[in-house]
Structure 1
Amino acid sequence: MELRLTLSLTAALLLPGLAIAADAHADTAPAASRQAELPAWEQLSAEQRELLISPLRDRWNAQPQERARMLEHAKRWKALPPEARERARKGVHRFEQMDPEQRRIARAIFAATRDMSPEQREQFRKDWARMSPAQRQEWLRKHPAPEGGRGR
């Protein structure tokens, strides 16, 4: 199960920071009814737009060395079909629900499998499922999660 969660994080980890500040200020109404109440971008007030944009602007300004990566992520996100975007959102949500140890494992597996072909990833998934807990711990010892939590 750890691997299934981890591999579904592949797209999600490529899209950090998708959670927006507006979520912190959302009312307690069910999400579906809130979505129906919220207007299109053009109808948002200047204050609402600022609330949505400011976290990205702050990251952009605070991390000039990350700007190229951030721009590339935005281009990839825009090119994703809606189903892939939804899988990524769900992956982000699952990752946010993990405890620190599960996140460490997810980052290690992601870093090791990110450049694999789909066939190689599938083989890794099968191999991982066959490993004993001790074998998994040994694999994680040999393939530690990258520093900084980014998967690179």
Structure 2
Amino acid sequence: MLGLALLTLTATGWAQTSALPNWDQLTPQQREALIAPVRDRWNDAPPPQRERMLQHGQRWQEMTPEQRDLARRGRHRFENMSPEQREQARALFAQMRTMNPAQRDELRARWARMTPDQRQDWLKANPIVEPPAAPRKP
């Protein structure tokens, strides 16, 4: 999505510069090229998914630059995982969401010691349960 938008920017004349412009320097057409994919995802999403998208956007605004960088690196790592690794990561994340830091550290250490069969057994015993949506901020 972002790649397509950046291609649009380069096709509209910004390829000659060494740095891409600030938002205020974009033309209305360039801004539209960046916004359109998000608008389409929003319009195609059912209400629960829209709520989640909004929460993600709000959380992103509250993050420090360092936290945003960690989130980006985690997303890239997740994108490069196999489907099985993604399933495991989702299950571990869902479980760790309810734990304190010491419990998370213990689970990470235990997970590292598990065999593939033990991990599968753990996944069966700890199915992914989506948390309830957080209340909206006024």
TM-score normalised to the size of structure 1? 0.69
Query: 2-side partners of 1:35 and 1:78: how far apart?
Result: 28
Query: Is the Cα–Cα contact under 8 Å of residues 105 and 145 in structure 1 kept in the other structure?
Result: no
| Runs of 4 or more above 6 Å deviation | none
Q: % of aligned pairs identical?
A: 50
Specify the alignment match of 1:60 in structure 2: 42
| Structure 2: segments with no counterpart, 5+ residues | 8-14, 132-138
Amino acid at match of 1:45: T
Q: How many residues align?
A: 123
Q: Which residue of the other structure, out of 74, 96, 107, is the alignment partner of 1:124?
A: 107
Q: CA deviation at 1:142?
A: 1.6
Q: Which entry has the higher C-alpha Rg, 1 or 2?
A: 2
* Paired residue secondary structure (1:50): helix
For residue 35 of structure 1, report the CA deviation from its aligned partner: 9.3
Cα deviation, 1:61-114, whole Å, max 9, x if unaligned, reads 222413332222211111111111001001111111111111111111112212
Give the aligned residue type for 1:86: D
Match of 1:22, as an amino acid?
L
Q: TM-score, normalised by structure 2?
A: 0.76
Greater RCO (Cα-Cα under 8 Å, separation 6 or more): 1
The answer to whether the Cα contact below 8 Å between 1:22 and 1:51 also exists between their aligned partners in 2 is: no
Residue range with higher mean Cα deviation, 82-91 or 120-129: 120-129
